[in-house]
Amino acid sequence: MSNALALAIRVAVVAVSLWVATIVVPGIDDTAGTTGSRVGTLVVVALIFGVVNAVLKPIIKVVGCPFYVLTLGLIGLVVNALLFLLVGYIAVGIGLPFSVDGFGPAFVGAIVVAVVGFILHFVIPDRLDHR
Protein backbone atom coordinates (compact mmCIF):
# COMPACT_ATOMS: atom_id res chain seq x y z
CA MET A 1 0.00 0.00 0.00
CA SER A 2 1.24 3.47 -0.70
CA ASN A 3 1.84 5.94 2.09
CA ALA A 4 -0.91 8.24 0.80
CA LEU A 5 -3.47 5.43 0.88
CA ALA A 6 -2.39 4.41 4.39
CA LEU A 7 -2.73 8.02 5.58
CA ALA A 8 -6.16 8.32 3.96
CA ILE A 9 -7.30 5.13 5.70
CA ARG A 10 -6.03 6.37 9.07
CA VAL A 11 -7.78 9.73 8.67
CA ALA A 12 -11.00 8.00 7.60
CA VAL A 13 -10.86 5.66 10.61
CA VAL A 14 -10.35 8.57 13.02
CA ALA A 15 -13.13 10.56 11.30
CA VAL A 16 -15.56 7.63 11.69
CA SER A 17 -14.45 7.24 15.31
CA LEU A 18 -15.13 10.93 15.94
CA TRP A 19 -18.54 10.58 14.28
CA VAL A 20 -19.41 7.69 16.60
CA ALA A 21 -18.28 9.82 19.56
CA THR A 22 -20.61 12.65 18.46
CA ILE A 23 -23.49 10.17 18.41
CA VAL A 24 -22.72 8.32 21.65
CA VAL A 25 -21.27 11.00 23.95
CA PRO A 26 -23.42 13.94 25.04
CA GLY A 27 -21.29 17.06 25.03
CA ILE A 28 -19.40 16.27 21.83
CA ASP A 29 -21.20 18.00 19.00
CA ASP A 30 -20.78 18.34 15.27
CA THR A 31 -23.28 21.05 14.37
CA ALA A 32 -22.57 21.20 10.64
CA GLY A 33 -25.76 21.43 8.61
CA THR A 34 -25.50 19.10 5.65
CA THR A 35 -24.05 15.63 5.47
CA GLY A 36 -21.25 16.83 3.20
CA SER A 37 -20.23 19.61 5.55
CA ARG A 38 -20.42 17.21 8.49
CA VAL A 39 -18.09 14.76 6.72
CA GLY A 40 -15.72 17.59 5.85
CA THR A 41 -15.72 18.82 9.43
CA LEU A 42 -14.97 15.34 10.77
CA VAL A 43 -12.12 14.86 8.29
CA VAL A 44 -10.52 18.20 9.25
CA VAL A 45 -10.97 17.42 12.96
CA ALA A 46 -9.41 13.98 12.35
CA LEU A 47 -6.40 15.69 10.75
CA ILE A 48 -6.12 18.06 13.74
CA PHE A 49 -6.46 15.04 16.06
CA GLY A 50 -3.61 13.29 14.24
CA VAL A 51 -1.30 16.30 14.35
CA VAL A 52 -1.98 16.95 18.05
CA ASN A 53 -1.34 13.30 18.91
CA ALA A 54 1.78 13.12 16.74
CA VAL A 55 3.34 16.30 18.14
CA LEU A 56 2.26 16.57 21.77
CA LYS A 57 1.68 13.01 22.94
CA PRO A 58 5.32 11.85 22.67
CA ILE A 59 6.51 14.96 24.50
CA ILE A 60 3.96 14.45 27.26
CA LYS A 61 4.91 10.76 27.59
CA VAL A 62 8.60 11.59 27.97
CA VAL A 63 8.05 14.44 30.43
CA GLY A 64 5.35 12.55 32.36
CA CYS A 65 7.08 9.17 32.38
CA PRO A 66 7.20 8.97 36.20
CA PHE A 67 3.44 9.58 36.37
CA TYR A 68 2.80 6.81 33.83
CA VAL A 69 4.89 4.43 35.94
CA LEU A 70 3.38 5.59 39.24
CA THR A 71 -0.22 5.20 38.02
CA LEU A 72 0.48 2.06 35.98
CA GLY A 73 -0.49 3.92 32.82
CA LEU A 74 -3.86 5.20 34.00
CA ILE A 75 -2.65 8.80 33.63
CA GLY A 76 -2.76 8.04 29.90
CA LEU A 77 -6.56 8.24 30.07
CA VAL A 78 -6.34 11.74 31.51
CA VAL A 79 -3.72 12.77 28.93
CA ASN A 80 -5.91 11.45 26.10
CA ALA A 81 -8.90 13.36 27.48
CA LEU A 82 -6.91 16.59 27.71
CA LEU A 83 -5.60 16.16 24.16
CA PHE A 84 -9.16 15.50 22.95
CA LEU A 85 -10.30 18.64 24.74
CA LEU A 86 -7.46 20.56 23.05
CA VAL A 87 -8.62 19.28 19.66
CA GLY A 88 -12.11 20.60 20.44
CA TYR A 89 -10.71 24.01 21.39
CA ILE A 90 -8.61 24.17 18.23
CA ALA A 91 -11.61 23.18 16.09
CA VAL A 92 -13.76 25.92 17.65
CA GLY A 93 -10.85 28.37 17.35
CA ILE A 94 -10.55 27.89 13.60
CA GLY A 95 -14.31 28.09 13.12
CA LEU A 96 -15.26 24.45 12.71
CA PRO A 97 -18.70 23.40 14.00
CA PHE A 98 -17.20 20.76 16.32
CA SER A 99 -17.14 21.22 20.08
CA VAL A 100 -16.24 19.34 23.24
CA ASP A 101 -18.09 20.73 26.25
CA GLY A 102 -15.69 19.83 29.04
CA PHE A 103 -13.41 17.27 30.61
CA GLY A 104 -16.13 14.65 31.18
CA PRO A 105 -17.22 14.43 27.55
CA ALA A 106 -13.56 14.60 26.47
CA PHE A 107 -12.68 11.69 28.78
CA VAL A 108 -15.49 9.47 27.51
CA GLY A 109 -14.99 10.67 23.92
CA ALA A 110 -11.30 9.78 23.98
CA ILE A 111 -12.18 6.28 25.14
CA VAL A 112 -14.86 5.91 22.45
CA VAL A 113 -12.49 7.16 19.73
CA ALA A 114 -9.77 4.78 20.91
CA VAL A 115 -12.04 1.74 21.06
CA VAL A 116 -13.80 2.41 17.74
CA GLY A 117 -10.46 3.24 16.11
CA PHE A 118 -8.95 -0.01 17.41
CA ILE A 119 -11.87 -2.05 16.07
CA LEU A 120 -11.81 -0.32 12.68
CA HIS A 121 -8.03 -0.66 12.36
CA PHE A 122 -8.41 -4.35 13.15
CA VAL A 123 -11.08 -4.76 10.44
CA ILE A 124 -9.48 -2.37 7.92
CA PRO A 125 -5.69 -2.57 8.18
CA ASP A 126 -3.82 0.54 7.04
CA ARG A 127 -0.70 -1.41 6.13
CA LEU A 128 0.27 -4.87 4.95
CA ASP A 129 2.28 -6.93 7.40
CA HIS A 130 5.07 -8.80 5.69
CA ARG A 131 5.88 -11.69 7.97
Q: For the chain, which residues make up each domain, given as ranges?
A: 3-123
pLDDT at 129 over 60: no
> What is the Cα–Cα distance from 101 to 80, expressed in whole angstroms?
15
Q: What is the pLDDT of residues 26-59, one digit of tens each?
A: 999 998 788 899 999 999 999 999 999 999 999 9
Q: What is the pLDDT of residue 88?
A: 94
Cβ contact 26:105 at 8 Å? yes
Q: What is the pLDDT of residues 63-91, one digit of tens each?
A: 988 999 999 989 999 999 999 999 999 99
The amino acid sitting at 36 is: G
Q: pTM here?
A: 0.89
